[in-house]
Amino acid sequence: MVREHFTQKMTEVKQKVVEMGALVDHIIEIAVTSSQTQDLDLAKSVSDKDDEIDELELEIEKECIMLLALQQPLAKDLRTITSVLKIITDLERMGDNAVNIANITLEIGKEPIINSITDIPKMAEIGRKMLKMSIDAFVNQDIVLAEKAAERDEEVDSLYETVINDILNIITEKRELTKQGTKLMFLGRYLERIADHSTNICERTIYMISGELKEIN
């Protein structure tokens, strides 16, 4: 009975991680959409949704601590619990990065956006795909999928480098765009960090499954 109870609780915890991942993906989508459309009302809604993510993180954390305190988890179970605690921290930080993106949108306001920066939407698209792949890998205990997701981080890093170079070239020629260009570089940095956090989730998933903790890339 004790083991069955533990297994049921772990299933519930994993489902909440999936729910948290979906919320994070949604908030990233909203933040990126608001930046592309300059929808300031949409950007303002991001902070409220981030509160939901923070609350869910605390809920999952409490349940993990209860499992550690009241149960006697086996080696793999212990790896699962500690991995979940790490994963939800990365998810929460991804939500924070989405808030930062929305704040940049609010700061730029209705000022015409530098249209030539086309790689930022590409970074966002890959970052969201990485997040979905990393959560799927966690749920299905799929090491191969986790590795594939993490490998895409190099694509995001390459795009970010291109964004930085493009913006620097633009503001060198048009000094009046320096302020906005700087903000867009920060926006790109937040997207790059989102991909990094997805990579962290992949690494923790691999550790959870195999017991081997290694850096990918």
Question: Residue 61: its pLDDT value, please?
Answer: 97
Contact, 153 vs 195, CB < 8 A?
A: yes
**Residue 67: which domain range?**
2-210
- Considering its fold, how many domains does the chain have in total? 1
**Average pLDDT of the chain, as a whole number:** 93
Sequence-distant (≥ 6) Cβ neighbours of residue 76 within 8 angstroms: 208, 211
The percentage of residues in the chain with a pLDDT greater than 90, rounded to a whole number, is 81
The answer to whether residue 64 is domain-embedded is yes
The answer to whether residue 160 is domain-embedded is yes
Tens-place pLDDT, residues 80-132: 999 999 999 999 999 999 999 999 999 999 998 887 678 999 999 999 999 99
Q: Is the pLDDT of residue 51 over 60?
A: yes
The answer to whether residue 137 is domain-embedded is yes
> Average of pLDDT values for 35-61?
95
Contact, 188 vs 160, CB < 8 A?
A: yes
Question: Residue 212: its pLDDT value, please?
Answer: 85
For the purposes of burial, counting CB atoms within 10 Å of the CB of 8, is it exposed (0-12), middle (13-18) or buried (19 or more)? Answer: exposed
The percentage of residues in the chain with a pLDDT greater than 70, rounded to a whole number, is 97
Question: Residue 215: its pLDDT value, please?
Answer: 77
Question: Residue 4: its pLDDT value, please?
Answer: 77
The answer to whether residue 205 is domain-embedded is yes
The answer to whether residue 27 is domain-embedded is yes
Q: What CATH number has the domain bearing residue 94?
A: 1.20.58.220
Tens-place pLDDT, residues 162-171: 999 999 999 9
The pLDDT confidence band at residue 217, using thresholds 50, 70 and 90, is low
The answer to whether residue 216 is domain-embedded is no
The answer to whether residue 53 is domain-embedded is yes
